[in-house]
Structures are given as structure tokens and as C-alpha cells.
Amino acid sequence: MHQKVASADSRYLAMLIVGLTGGMGVGKSTVAQLLSEKGAKVIDVDALGRQIIEAGGSAVSDVIRRFGPAVASGDGGINRAALAEIVFGDEEQLTALEEISHPAINDLLDQAVEEIQSRDSIVVYDMAVLVESRLGCDTQHPYEVVVVVEAPMSDRLERLKNQRGIAESDALARIELQASDEERRAVAQFIIANGGDLGSLADATIELWDQLELLLESKNS
């Protein structure tokens, strides 16, 4: 970290919170990992979404109350496959689920940020549905900068098939339900184009990191 920031009184240092997003198969998780290696504190928002419906999760009882006992799993959590059958392609049901899950996820986001010891950190919310939701916005620590990762559709489909076993037709159906590239670009301060070469992606991520460090330094100067 730049000396100017490091020498400041830690009581008054501010974090820089970044929203990292992108469609299925663009390589967003790889960028998140590369940012983590540079020193970012990465919070996996999708993992928080799973956590709230696991046994003991904060949203379990509300989800069962709304969608019925058929979505309950034997271990005290939520059967994600059963829940997905109900909400997939049904906007009203999906909205009902989001009204339960998103506040719970935002609460966990706040907790995760508060647990970060270094107050002059770059914090990254790794999240698929940044554009489509208020996740990471309706929190005590909303993201200030948006980074969008993009990739050619052919690369995305190949990656989803080879790495996650998702057939092209299923992948296209899921991608269709997500925000478009144009919608993501409209809210982005930074765009990383992933052409499939890891070295080039790493170089682009390093360039991004340098820009984020400058923004953090500006906040704390």
C-alpha cells in the first residue's frame, strides 16, 4: 500500500468497496482470485446466498413459510433444487424469494466487512447479480466502484460446458435471464475483457488493481 495511506491515523482510514460482476462463464471468479492475490479482501456474495439457506441459516424459516415444506431439506436447510424448480422462470416467485434472501445477504455482507481488520483495504463484492438487484447497495457498506468482466459468448459457452458441465441450450437459457452486457456496461467504471488468455487477463487485473489503489489513496489523502 502507498506510504501516504499507511502512515495515516488508522481510526480515520476508509475502505474502498468494489462491486465485481459479470455474466456466467466470463471468468469473474478468476479475476476475483487474482485481485485476492494482490491483496483485496474478496467477499463471495454467491456463497453468502447459499449460507443463508443452509441449516441454521437466517432465511430458512422465512423461505419455508413462503414456499412450503416441500423446499425443506432433511438436514434443516433448504433443498436448493426444489426451490429452483419453483422460482426459475417465474418472476413473481423469484421476486418473493429475493425479498427474503437479499436483506439477509446484505446483513452478512455488513458483518463480513466489519470483521476486516485493516481499515484501508480494498474490499471486493464478488457477485453475479449486481445489476439485477440491490445486493451490496442497501447495506451499511455499499460498493462505490463497479468492475464488469466480459468475454465472447462462444468462450463463455465452451467454458460452461467444459468446466461446469452445462449444455449449451441450458447455458443460453440461464444467460438470457441475466442482465445484458449493455446493462452491465452502463453501470461500470471499469471493464475487463477476458479473451481466454490467462496471462492477458492477469495483466488487465494488475492494471485494474493499480487504478483501485489510486482511488483508495485519494479517499484517504
Is residue 10 predicted with pLDDT exceeding 70?
no
At residue 118, the pLDDT reads 84
Is residue 190 predicted with pLDDT exceeding 80?
yes
Q: For 75-106, what is each residue's pLDDT tens digit?
A: 999 999 999 999 987 889 999 999 999 999 99
Is residue 13 predicted with pLDDT exceeding 80?
no
At residue 9, the pLDDT reads 46
Q: Regarding the domain delimited by 3-219, which CATH topology (the fold level of the hierarchy) does it fall under?
A: Rossmann fold (3.40.50)
Residue ranges per structural domain of the chain? 3-219
Q: For 39-52, what is each residue's pLDDT tens digit?
A: 999 999 999 999 99
At residue 73, the pLDDT reads 95
At residue 104, the pLDDT reads 96
At residue 5, the pLDDT reads 34
At residue 12, the pLDDT reads 54
51-56 long-range CB contacts below 8 Å, 24 or more apart? Answer: 51/108, 52/101, 52/104, 52/105, 52/108, 53/77, 53/78, 53/80, 53/83, 53/101, 54/78
SS (H, E, C) the chain: CCHHHHCCCHHHCCCEEEEEECCCCCCHHHHHHHHHHHCCEEEEHHHHHHHCCCCCCCCHHHHHHHHCHHHECCCCCECHHHHHHHHCCCHHHHHHHHHHHHHHHHHHHHHHHHCCCCCCCEEEEECCCCCCCCCCCCCCCCCCEEEEEECCHHHHHHHHHHHHCCCHHHHHHHHHHCCCHHHHHCCCCEEEECCCCHHHHHHHHHHHHHHHHHHHHHHCC
Q: For 64-83, what is each residue's pLDDT tens digit?
A: 999 999 999 989 999 999 99
